[in-house]
Chains A and B, each alone.
Chain A
Amino acid sequence: MTPARILPALLLCLLPVCVHAETAEEKALAIAVEADNRDSGFVDYTNDTQMILRNKQGQESIRVIRSKTLEVDGDGDKSLTIFDEPNDVKGTALLSFTHKEGPDDQWLYLPALKRVKRIASDNKSGPFMGSEFAYEDITSQEVEKYTYKYLRDDSFDGMDVFVFERYPVDKKSGYTRQIIWMDKEHYKERKIEFYDRKDTLLKTLLFTDYNQYQDRFWRAHQMDMENHQTGKSTRLLQSNYKYGTGLRERDFDQNSLKRAR
C-alpha cells in the first residue's frame, strides 16, 4: 500500500463509525461477560438435583443431591453439595471453592470415616458421580476460565442465538473446545457441544425448561447430556430453587462440611 492510499484510510478511521472493527474474539468475550453480568448478584441459593444416568442398554441409575451456593465478590462461587442417593453414599458431601484463576479447591467428606479428603484439582475432567457430567461441567462457569471466538448468528428452536466457541484455559481440561448456542434475549445457554482432546465431538448438552427467579435469574430445570462416543446419557433435573436464603461464608467451611447430613 502506498502512503497516498493509507492516508484516506486513516482519515476514514477518525470517524466515529470506524473506531475499531470488533474481532470475533472480542465479540464472543463481550457476550460471555454480558451473560455473566446478567447472572451476577444472586448472592446465594439452594436447590435439589436428580440425575438419571442411562447406559447404552437403557439401564437407569438415580442420583439425588442437594446444593448450597454462595456468590463470592471478586472470585468464583463457593458450593456445598450433599449426596442423598444412592444410599451407600448418603451423607457424603463435597465442598468446592471455584476460582477465576488457578485450580479450584475441593474437599470430599466421607461420613463413615468422618474423614475430609482433599481432591486433586486435576481430576476436573473426571465424571461426577459416574454420570456424563464432568466436574468441570457442573462447577461455576467463570468467564476467565475460557478464551472465546464468535462464529455466527443463528436460530435454534425458534430463538435467535449467538453461536460461539470457547477454549478452556486450563491444560487439564478434558476438552479442546466447546461450541455454545446462547439465546439473544436472555443470554442463556441452549446447547453446548463438547470436543475431546483429539477435537472429536464427545458430548452434547441441551438446556430446557428455563424458569425465572427473583425476576432476574433464569435457571434450566432440565439438562440432557449425551455422550456420542459411549452411547451413555445423563438427564439432570433441577428443582426447589430458593434465593436469598441468608447463607454465609461460615456455611462453606470444613466444619460445615463435617456437619452436612
Chain B
Amino acid sequence: MKRLLIAAVALWPLVNSQAGDWRGYVEFEGTVFFEDPAYAEQSNSDLSIAAEPEYIREWNNGDDIFTFKPFYRVDQRDNHRTHGDLRELSWIHAADDWEILAGVGKVFWGVTEAVHLVDIVNQTDLVESFDGEEKLGQPMIDLSLIRDWGVVDLFILPWFRERTFPSEDGRPRFAIPIDKNDPIYESGAEQHHVDFAARWSNSIGAWDIGLSYFYGTSREPRFVIQPTAIDPVTGTVSETKPLYEIINQASIDLQAIYGSWLWKLEAFTRGGQGDRFASAAGGFEYTFVGVRESAIDVGIIAEYLYDGRDDEIGSTEIMPGTPFSTSPFQNDLVLGTRITLNDMQSTELLVVGIIDLEGNGQTFSMEASRRVGSNWIVALEGSAFSNVPENTSLASFKKDSNIRLKLTRYF
C-alpha cells in the first residue's frame, strides 16, 4: 500500500500538468442497528464518510488511457474501516488485436446476483460491505488477445492484497475478531508470491461464456485459531488468523438470454485448501417489462447456491491449529426482485432473500436508490438475519440487522 502511494505521489506531476478529466464522489453514511450488539465493544449506530476521486487522461485517440483512482474512508467506530486504498493506478494501451493493462486495476468476472464465485482477481474489501462486492486494487499486468474465436486474457499478479476485516469495534464482525495484522501464508514468499490467471471469454449469439484458471494465493482465506496467551481469569486467550494458501482453481461462467429470460451459471473447482471441492450458483432473472402499460420494469430473481465445503465457523468442534472455512451457502435458495421505475430520478429497488434449505436461517438485503437534483444519489440499504442457529458462520451477525442511509455527491 505504501509503495503504491509513493508511486501515486511520483506520478502526481504527470496528472497535474496534463489536461485530463476528474470525476468521483463523496459519500456520507449513517447506520442504525435494530438490536443491542452481541459483543461489548460494538455500538448501536455508526457514521462514516468516504471519497473516491478519479483522474482519467486519454491520448492517441483513446488507445492509451491513464487512470488514477484513490479511495479513503473515515469511520466513527471501526478503526479498520477507517482505511485507504489505491483502487486504480493504471495504463491501458489498445492495439488492433491486443490490449495491455499495467498497474493497479480491477477486473470483474461473473454473472450471478447473490454471490460472485468466479470473481477471483481482486481481493475483497470486506470492511466496505459485508456482501463482498467492494474490491481492493490489484497490481497486475493483463494482456488481452482479441481473436475471432474469443478474447484470451493472461494475468500476472505480482503482489498479494490481504483481505480487510472489521476490528473488535466493527459491526458486523465474527465472534472471535480476526487478527489481520499477522496472517499465515503457505508460501514462504508471502505477499510477494507471483500469481497467474488466464481467461477465455466469448459472446456467441444469445450466449456469453467465460472459462478461467487461477494459480496462486487464495483471495478467500481459511482461518486458524491460535492460543496467544494464558489469562489467569478466563484461561487461554485465542486469536483467529487468516490462512492464505496456494490454490489452483478452474471456473466457468455462463449466461444465456432468451427474450425476458436471463439464465446464469457460475461454478468452480478448487484445490489447495484441504480436499479439492466445488462450488456453484445458478438461476435466472426474468423481467416483466413495462408492467400494466407503465414504464416500470419488475424483475424476478431466483438462484440456487451450492458449496462443497462444510460451514465450520461457530462450531464447537474447531480445534486450535486446524484450518476452517467460512462458507454459509452450502444448499441455499436465493429469491429476489428488482424494481426499476425508469423515471427521471432513476429510482430502483432490489430486495434479495437467501434461504438456507437445511434450516440454518435466512438473510435479507434491500437496496433502494434515487437521484436528488442532478448530482446527488440518496440510497437506503438494509440487511436482516433471522432464525440463524448458533453453529453457523452467520451466527456472529444474528443481532446485526441494520438499516443504512447513504448520501452521495457525484462530481
Contact = CB atoms under 8 A, between A and B. Distances in A.
B4 interface: no
Interface in A42-89: 53, 55, 61-62, 85-89
Contact of A197 (B144, B146, B287, B293): B293
B290 interface: yes
B12 interface: no
B295 A126 contact: yes
A255 interface: yes
A261 interface: yes
A253 B144 CA distance: 13
A259 interface: yes
A113 interface: yes
A86 B408 CA distance: 13
A250 B63 CA distance: 12
Given A87-B375, A87-B410, A255 B289 contact: no
B21 interface: yes
Contacts of B410: 86-88, 90
A89 B371 CA distance: 11
Contact of A255 (B25, B146, B208, B374): B146
B38 interface: no
A120 interface: yes
B342 A261 contact: no
Interface string B342-383: 111110000000000000000000000001001101000000
A35 to B, nearest CB: 29
A254 B289 contact: no
Interface in B261-292: 261-262, 287, 289-290
B34 interface: no
A55 B65 CA distance: 38
A244 interface: no
Contacts of B25: 88
B259 A120 contact: yes
B106 interface: yes
Given A121-B257, A250-B146, A255-B94, A115 B108 contact: yes
A242 interface: no
A86 B374 contact: yes
Given A114-B106, A130-B343, A130-B345, A122 B23 contact: no
A123 interface: yes
B310 interface: no
Given A55-B344, A113-B108, A122 B56 contact: no
A87 to B, nearest CB: 4
Interface in B313-355: 342-346
Secondary structure dominating the interface of B: strand
A56 to B, nearest CB: 11
B79 interface: no
Interface string B17-45: 00001010100000000000000000000
Contacts of B374: 61-62, 85-87
Interface residues of B, number: 46
A261 B408 contact: no
B260 A255 contact: no
B377 A88 contact: yes
A240 interface: no
A121 B375 contact: no
A254 B344 CA distance: 28
A120 B255 CA distance: 11
Contacts of A127: 295, 342
Interface in A104-123: 105, 113-115, 118, 120-123
A55 B343 CA distance: 10
A130 B342 contact: yes
A91 B88 CA distance: 15
Nearest to A250: B96
Contacts of B97: 250
B62 interface: yes
A2 to B, nearest CB: 54
B28 to A, nearest CB: 15
Interface string B389-411: 00000000000000000001011
B151 interface: yes
Contact of B94 (A55, A89, A259): A259
A172 interface: yes
Contacts of B344: 53, 55, 61, 130
A176 interface: no
A196 interface: yes
Given A122-B259, A130-B346, A261-B65, A196 B144 contact: no
Contacts of B99: 255, 259
A27 to B, nearest CB: 33
Nearest to B119: A115
Interface in B74-109: 92, 94, 96-97, 99, 106-108
A125 interface: yes
A198 B342 CA distance: 21
A64 to B, nearest CB: 11
Interface of A: 53, 55, 61-62, 85-91, 103, 105, 113-115, 118, 120-123, 125-127, 130, 172, 174, 196-198, 250, 253-256, 259, 261
22 contacts: A53-B344, A88-B377, A91-B23, A113-B133, A118-B255, A118-B257, A120-B287, A121-B257, A122-B259, A122-B287, A126-B297, A127-B295, A130-B344, A174-B290, A253-B146, A253-B151, A254-B203, A259-B62, A259-B65, A259-B94, A261-B62, A261-B65
Enumerate the 5 nearest inter-chain pairs by beta-carbon distance, A residue then B residue, closest first: A87-B410, A122-B260, A88-B410, A114-B108, A127-B342
